[in-house]
Amino acid sequence: MTSAKPLPKKGVMDIAAYVPGRKSAPGVDRVHKLSSNESPLGASPEAIQAISGVLDHLETYPDGNANALCEAIAEVHGLNRANILCGNGSDELLTLLCQAYLGPGDEGIVTEHGFLIYKIQIMAAGATPVTVRETDCRADVDAILAAVTERTKIVFLANPNNPTGTYLSMEEVRRLRAGLPAGVLLVLDAAYAEYVRRNDYESGIELVSASDNVVMTRTFSKIHGLAGLRIGWLYGPHHVIDALHRIRGPFNLNAAAIAAGAAAVRDRGHIDRSVEHNSVWLRRVTEGLQELGLRVTPSAANFVLIHFDPDGGRTAAKADEFLLRRGFVLRHVSAYGFPDALRMSIGSKEANEGVLAALKDFLETS
């Protein structure tokens, strides 16, 4: 039977579109955007300077292999350049993994409060997402392994996780990999790895190097402050890199992104300043919120998950409205299974102190 109009393939219209964090607060002149986990320190001056060298040659295509960026990443992290693939944000790389390794009848495992993009791209590939419960807002290795079937092809693990900020120790991650069949790909999304200051944490580089079924993705949108340029990278076995190269776009990174990313990853001073700012303010914000009587999920990243009390009338929705009137934009996380919580990115000193003061007023007047 002929359709009256073109129709998307089966399953596409069942996908709930991703909704990014808000940018504005209507009627407020001074806005602090704390909804997208962006860096309050901005981009490296060296990265900004690197972009200027690209502007005189906008008529030419960028390097299709992003060699300058891949080589810089390899140099800084001590990796083999051949095992690195760069993309238009880590989102593109996650999408490519689903396109390459999933199809109808396959399953991809995600955790209860994991990054929404995983489920979206699993479904876009025609496969079935399998959501596994977490324990105390933390991925549960035993629950993940129990969910593996002969149809499982990919397991996604954000470590640390967004929006909870919790993480698994490398011992637990290694236990997860050891329990997976050899044909199941373990994807470690380490978007917030640079912020973690825990002795039992590793981003996954060593595990990838020692495995044939593990890849790690990283991003320049957080610690490097380059979210506007959309830069991500993947470290994985050669056979995975080979497969992804065959289906990626021929010029999937623009010239400005390549130049800025290569400069940013080498700017150790800017990275260290960003880490220090986050370490100081993550602790201060967490303690400040707890002193107000609010429950905060312990975070190892650059944001905190703040829980509110609906029984007392102090709901997340009401807190959000109150904060918006003060010019503070936080993130609703009901789509992640937290109807009465807000995620707050660690921002500038002014923004962090402003949110604490505003929440104090909210709790006193509501």
User: What is the structure's pLDDT at 11?
Assistant: 85
DSSP 58-123: TTSPPPTT-HHHHHHHHHHHT--GGGEEEESHHHHHHHHHHHHH--TT-EEEEETT--HHHHHHHH
Distance, in Å, from the CA atom of 44 to the CA atom of 260, rounded to the nearest integer, reads: 9
Distance of CA 325 to the CA centre of its chain: 28
Residues 88, 225: one domain?
yes
Domain around 360: 20-42+269-365
Q: CATH number of the domain that 299 lies in?
A: 3.90.1150.10
Residues 234, 329: one domain?
no
Dihedral in degrees, nearest 10, Cα atoms 115, 145, 83, 62: -20
Residues 163, 240: one domain?
yes
Inside any domain, residue 142: yes
Place of tokens 């050669």: 238
Helices (H), the chain: 45-52, 67-77, 89-101, 116-124, 141-147, 170-179, 205-209, 238-247, 255-266, 268-291, 316-325, 349-365
User: What is the structure's pLDDT at 86?
Assistant: 98
User: What is the structure's pLDDT at 258?
Assistant: 98
Average pLDDT, integer, range 333-337: 95
Average pLDDT, integer, range 257-265: 98
pLDDT range class, residue 1, cuts 50, 70, 90: low
Inside any domain, residue 5: no
Inside any domain, residue 10: no
Average pLDDT, integer, range 163-171: 98
Q: Of 266, 282, 310, which residue is a domain's last? A: 266
Average pLDDT, integer, range 175-182: 98
Task: For residue 246, give every residue at least 6 positions away whose Cβ sits within 8 Å of its Cβ, in sequence order, or none.
Answer: 100
pLDDT range class, residue 103, cuts 50, 70, 90: very high
Residues 54, 174: one domain?
yes
Q: pLDDT at residue 20 above 90?
A: no
Q: pLDDT at residue 55 above 80?
A: yes
Distance of CA 117 to CAs 145, 156, 314, Å? 21, 10, 30
Nearest alpha-carbon partner for 188 in 198, 174, 179 = 174
Residues 158, 29: one domain?
no
User: What is the structure's pLDDT at 204?
Assistant: 97
Inside any domain, residue 12: no
Residues 229, 276: one domain?
no
Q: What is the pLDDT of residues 268-322, one digit of tens each?
A: 999 999 999 999 999 999 999 999 999 999 999 999 999 998 877 899 999 999 9
Residues 237, 125: one domain?
yes
User: What is the structure's pLDDT at 178?
Assistant: 98
User: What is the structure's pLDDT at 61?
Assistant: 96
DSSP 277-300: HHHHHHHHHHHHHHHTT-EEE--S
Residues 184, 215: one domain?
yes
Cis amide leading into 20 (omega within 30): no
Cis amide leading into 160 (omega within 30): yes
- Total number of domains constituting the chain: 2
Q: How many residues does the chain have?
A: 366
Inside any domain, residue 289: yes
Cα 80–Cα 83–Cα 86 angle in degrees, nearest 5: 115
Distance of CA 328 to the CA centre of its chain: 22
Distance, in Å, from the CA atom of 144 to the CA atom of 135, rounded to the nearest integer, reads: 11
pLDDT range class, residue 91, cuts 50, 70, 90: very high
Q: CATH number of the domain that 141 lies in?
A: 3.40.640.10
User: What is the structure's pLDDT at 257?
Assistant: 98
Q: Of 266, 288, 320, which residue is a domain's last? A: 266
* The residue type at 310: P
Average pLDDT, integer, range 208-228: 98
Mean confidence (pLDDT) of the chain: 95
Nearest alpha-carbon partner for 236 in 358, 94, 132 = 94
Residues 250, 140: one domain?
yes
Distance, in Å, from the CA atom of 344 to the CA atom of 99, rounded to the nearest integer, reads: 32
Residues 290, 351: one domain?
yes
Inside any domain, residue 256: yes
Inside any domain, residue 28: yes
Q: Of 245, 266, 287, which residue is a domain's last? A: 266
Q: pLDDT at residue 151 above 90?
A: yes
Residues 138, 207: one domain?
yes
User: What is the structure's pLDDT at 218?
Assistant: 98
User: What is the structure's pLDDT at 366?
Assistant: 76
Residues 257, 357: one domain?
no
User: What is the structure's pLDDT at 25?
Assistant: 74
User: Dihedral sign, CA of 48, 54, 56, 61?
Assistant: negative
Dihedral in degrees, nearest 10, Cα atoms 349, 232, 16, 127: -150
Inside any domain, residue 7: no
Average pLDDT, integer, range 69-74: 98
